[in-house]
Amino acid sequence: MTKTIPYWHVDAFASAPFGGNQAAVLVLDEWLPDDVLQAIGEENNFAETAFVVRDESGGADWELRWFTPTDEVALCGHATLASGHVLLTRDGGERVTFRTRKAGVLEVVRKGDAYELALPITRVEPSSQPDLLAALGFRGETFLSYEGAEQTAIVLMKDEDEIRALAPDMTALGKIDLMAICTAPGDDHDAVSRVFVPAWGVPEDSVTGSAHAALAPFWSERLGKSEMTAHQASARGGDLTMRLEGDRAWLGGPCVTVVEGSFYLTG
């Protein structure tokens, strides 16, 4: 028997195809076994594949889970934005909510021709991380999360040139169970970053919503403002807006649907 699952390939935080961060979005009638969800994530081979199922609990509109090619993750921003884009485009409306297993209820709203995503903020504090710095080939200030998303590290660098010149030892970095966010003041944006997560199956992420849930309060404290712009300087690249509101970071940007079709599951 072949099961047909509605499928979308979305470039999130992108105003045109081939930019931003790729995500697959699959709308399920009911949850598949975890090993099947993981196999689909591996088959897609995107940084994240998002799965949504109607939420029957009344806590939100949809349930949402995310899988990298190797693991289920606790939070993914760009694939949540992509899921909101898919559902609001398909079903209409201005707002959609998602109940997640570890990140609580997340919300995506229309914002003109783009979207805003509310994520719980992550706060960091100074922390010595010599192995991380050695793997990055850099000496500087390091910070580790103590509130919000676990296993999140920020490395503060001098300027955008240093960010763009980074050439980490991915083998060494892959042995460190952290999301490594390297950031500095940007040339044309308030903040610029690159994000490395080889331990989670993503050597360098293209545009990382969850990282900006940590960067928003980090740079707000340093710049003295609650609304900022950001650029993630990956090969694909992407621009975001960041806005702090209470314990949420609102991250904004457009999405582009690149492929719409069906995923066929046989067995």
- The span from the CA of 169 to the CA of 172, in Å, is 5
- Check if 245 is active-site: no
Residue 29 is which amino acid? D
Taking the CA atoms of residue 9, residue 11, residue 208 and residue 206 in that order, the dihedral angle to the nearest 10 degrees is 100
Which positions ≥6 away from 11 have C-beta within 8 Å?
17, 18, 19, 20, 21, 22, 255, 256, 258
**Within a 10 A sphere around the Cβ of 30, how many other Cβ atoms?**
7
Please spell the DSSP secondary structure of 159-194, one letter per residue. -HHHHHH----HHHHTTS-SEEEEEE--SSSSEEEE
Catalytic option among 42, 43, 48, 160: 48
Active site residues per annotation:
48
